[in-house]
Amino acid sequence: MKISNSNLYKYIYALIFLPLFVRFFTDNFGMSYAVMPLFDAYAVVLLLVVFYLSKKRNSILEFWLFVFAFSGIISIIVNGGVSFSNLFYSVRPYFRMIIAIMISALAFNIKHLEKLFKYVETLLYVNAIVMTYQFLFQGLRQDVIGGTFGNNQGVNAIQNILCVFVFCVTIEYYLKYIFSKKKLIINVVVIFYIAIMAEINMVFFEAAIIGAILFLLNKSKHQYISKRKLFFISGGLCGIVIGLYLFMKFNTERLFLLSLPNILEYLGFNSGNTGVYKISRVKVFSQLGNSFFKDDLCGWLFGFGLGNCSTHSSFYNIHQNLQYTFFSSSNIFLETGLFGVFANLGVIVSTLVLSIKNRKIIYDPKQKAWMDISVAITIIILLLFFYNTTLRDTYTAFFAGMLLGIPYAIKKIQKN
């Protein structure tokens, strides 16, 4: 099939869904993981094809791509080089997000985004059914019950980002009178069901943030609150309370999260060693910087060099118990320093600013809806940078990047 602007979106969908499809076979049937690097090569080729077919550029994203590349290269130079093997295992996750953002920004339109939503929504429905089977007949529990996405730890990151996307679109489309009350209830129930079964406590926190953001963005200039919004507020509060009750009932070892001091300790506001992970999610840079770089300014700025902390490096062999590969923030800081952190957070924050700024000058209902969705999702992705490896994993980074490309895609539509 010849690739053209009219069918390009299908090839982009393949970049999102094929890794998930492959994971099903690697986890359940022992298929080799050797195929996974092919998705990174495919992403680069796809970006070049998008550049060629669109014949358009995005100066903002090109700037951030340059910052990504420059911070990675200079970190290597400052540290005296890196082996090809280590670079191979670090450069791919490092560039996944920014490549996906550029692909989405240049190739997607609203129809493509809505179709993507329908596919992900259907996938979550199927996944909920498969998870039920795994729970009842295979005895799987908590964070290894992944439905169609496999049954190994780490699968929750996949389910979480998909749930965030479906939840965001569902809430926004309900508040914009596009989705019915029935549609809202079904999707929220499915998402909370998946969160309860798979022990994804983060979903309830994200749901509260997303609900609050989208409610405020859809706040009417009039004093009164419509029946639809009143149902959203009351139903949302009841839904989260009931969902949390069921979550704690099925995941009793998480009861400690009902205490604010325990939540702060879990996130690492206190000692840094949370009892779950050895790196504080909120003090990650000071903790790692003081431990490894101390007074070395170059270390703080450029890290140990892109690739020198990969899972195949000597550094990893010595410090793997530190669990720094569990979070995007710690992995990027150790390899590329604050410069690399700036590249990653910079593109996310600039996307958030663009979304907030442009939604004020958009009057088309659906375009405005997707800008609102972008605001909420970008804030969640900003949190996920510190929470897990969503922005680096093959299974999630491409999808997260596609979502970050939404405001650029909408802005491109406006210009046309």
pLDDT over 70 (residue 342)? yes
Q: Between these two residues, 231 and 139, which has the higher pLDDT value? A: 231
Question: What is the pLDDT, as a whole number, of residue 350?
Answer: 97
Detail the DSSP E strand segments found in 237-353: none
Number of H helices, E strands in the chain: 17, 0
Q: Among 54-63, 342-351, 404-413, whose mean pLDDT is lowest?
A: 54-63
pLDDT over 70 (residue 416)? no
268-282 average pLDDT score = 69
Q: What mean pLDDT, rounded, does the chain reach?
A: 92
- Residue 393 and residue 157 in contact, taking contact as beta carbons nearer than 8 Å: yes
131-155 average pLDDT score = 85
Sign of CA dihedral 107, 108, 111, 114: positive
Which secondary structure element, helix H or strand E, spans residue 45, and what is its range? helix 37-54
pLDDT over 80 (residue 153)? no
Q: Please write the tens of the pLDDT for every residue from 16-25.
A: 999 999 998 8
- Residue 377 and residue 207 in contact, taking contact as beta carbons nearer than 8 Å: no
- Residue 239 and residue 192 in contact, taking contact as beta carbons nearer than 8 Å: yes
Residues 6+ apart with CB under 8 A from 338: 285, 300, 301
pLDDT tier, 45 (very low <50, low <70, confident <90, very high otherwise): very high
pLDDT tier, 223 (very low <50, low <70, confident <90, very high otherwise): low
Q: Please write the tens of the pLDDT for every residue from 64-83.
A: 999 999 999 999 999 999 99
- Rounded to the nearest 10 degrees, how much is the dihedral formed by the CA atoms of 351, 112, 390, 62? -40
pLDDT over 80 (residue 123)? yes
Percent of the chain with pLDDT over 90: 75
Question: What is the pLDDT, as a whole number, of residue 408?
Answer: 96
* Alpha-carbon span 206 to 52, nearest angstrom: 38
Q: Please write the tens of the pLDDT for every residue from 361-400.
A: 898 999 999 999 999 999 999 999 999 999 999 999 999 9
* Alpha-carbon span 317 to 305, nearest angstrom: 16
Q: Which pTM value belongs to this model?
A: 0.95
b/e per residue 68-104 (b: at least 16 CB within 10 A): beebbebbbebbeebeeebbebbbbbbbbbbbbbbbb
